[in-house]
Amino acid sequence: MMEILAPAKINLTLKILGKRPDGFHEIESLVQKVNLFDRITFTNVSDGRISLVCSDPGIPGDENNLAHRAAMILAEAASIRDRGVRIELEKNIPSGAGLGGGSSDAAAVLIGLSRFWDLSSTTGFLADLGAQLGSDVPLFLYPSPAIIKGRGEVVLPITARFSGYFVIIYPGFSVPTAWAYSNFRLTKTSDKYRISALSKAEGGELRPDDWSSLLANDLEAVVIPEYPEIALAKKALLEAGARAALMSGSGSAVFGLFDELETARRAAENMAVSGGYRAFTVEPLLS
C-alpha cells in the first residue's frame, strides 16, 4: 500500500490572451499550490484490474474520472498488462471550484503509480501524458509557484516565494469551466494585470503588501454576473481583514490574502459560522 497527497491550487492571476486555432483559449496565469489536499491510496490487487473508489459518491469512479483515466493511460504507455491496482480517493478539495482538484488527482496518480510500479518515469514523460488528460494536469507535476501558458499545459516554475496566508471560501456550488471560457469576450481594455512584476522577482520573497494589488482574473467579468454569490464571498473576505480577494480559476472558490495566520484562521472560522461557507486556511507550497 502507498499513499500520496494531491494539492489544490489557486490562480493568483489569470489573463486570457486570445482564442487558439484548436478552440482553446490562450492564457497566462500565475499559479500557487497550497496545502489543501486530496489523499490517494494505492493497493495491489491480484485480478490485474485497475479500479478507483471515491469518498464522494457524486464523483464517478470509472473512465469519467480523470484520476482513473490517468492510471489507464500510464498503464498503456508503460505496457503494464498484469499488475492491477485499487485506487482509493479521499476528496477534500471541493469539485468544480477552480481549485484544480480533478487535475491534481490525475497528476498524483501519474506520480504515485509510477513509483508504485517502479517505472522510473521522468517528469517530462508524465507531463506529456498529463497534457492528454487535461490542460491543468501538467501544472501539478512541477514545483510552484509557476506561470502557465498556452492552454495551461506549458509550465514555467519561478523561484519567487510568496509569504502570507490564504483563506479559501467555497460557496457551495460549482461553475462549469467550459461555460465560463465560452462566454468570455476578449476586449482591448487595459487592467491592473502585471505578471512581469511578479515573475521577475526571481529568488525573492514577496510579502502580501508587495503583490496584493496585482491579483487579477479575467473570468470574474463572466462568472460573477451569473453567480453573484461569488462577489458576496469576496466582500466577506475583505471585511474579515483580507488584503485582497479573488476568484480562483473559473470559480466558484474565492481566496483572500492575509498577512497573519491567526487573522486568517479567525476569518475562516467566522465565515464558516456566519456565512455557512466551507472555509480553509492554507499556506503556499513550494513543491
**Active-site positions?**
9, 136
Q: Where are the alpha helices (DSSP H) in the chain?
A: 66-77, 101-116, 123-133, 177-182, 195-199, 208-211, 220-226, 229-239, 261-274
146-150 and 161-162 strand pairing? unpaired
Whole-number Å distance between alpha carbons of 99 and 242: 19
Whole-number Å distance between alpha carbons of 71 and 65: 10
Q: Identify the bridge partners of residue 37 per DSSP, sorted by sequence position.
A: 7
- Nine cell digits for residue 276: 455557512
Q: Is 53 helix (H, G, I), strand (E, B) or coil?
A: strand
Instruction: Report helix, strand and coil shares of the chain as percent, to nearest 5.
Output: 30, 30, 35
User: By CB neighbour count within 10 A (0-12 exposed, 13-18 middle, 19+ buried), where does 166 fall?
Assistant: buried
DSSP string, 108-168: HHHHHHHHHTT----HHHHHHHHHHH-TTTGGGGS-SSEEEEETTTEEEE---EE-SEEEE
196, 183, 166: which is closest to 223 by C-alpha? Answer: 183
Residue 191 zone, left/alpha/beta (φ > 0; ψ -120 to 50; rest): beta
Whole-number Å distance between alpha carbons of 92 and 86: 19
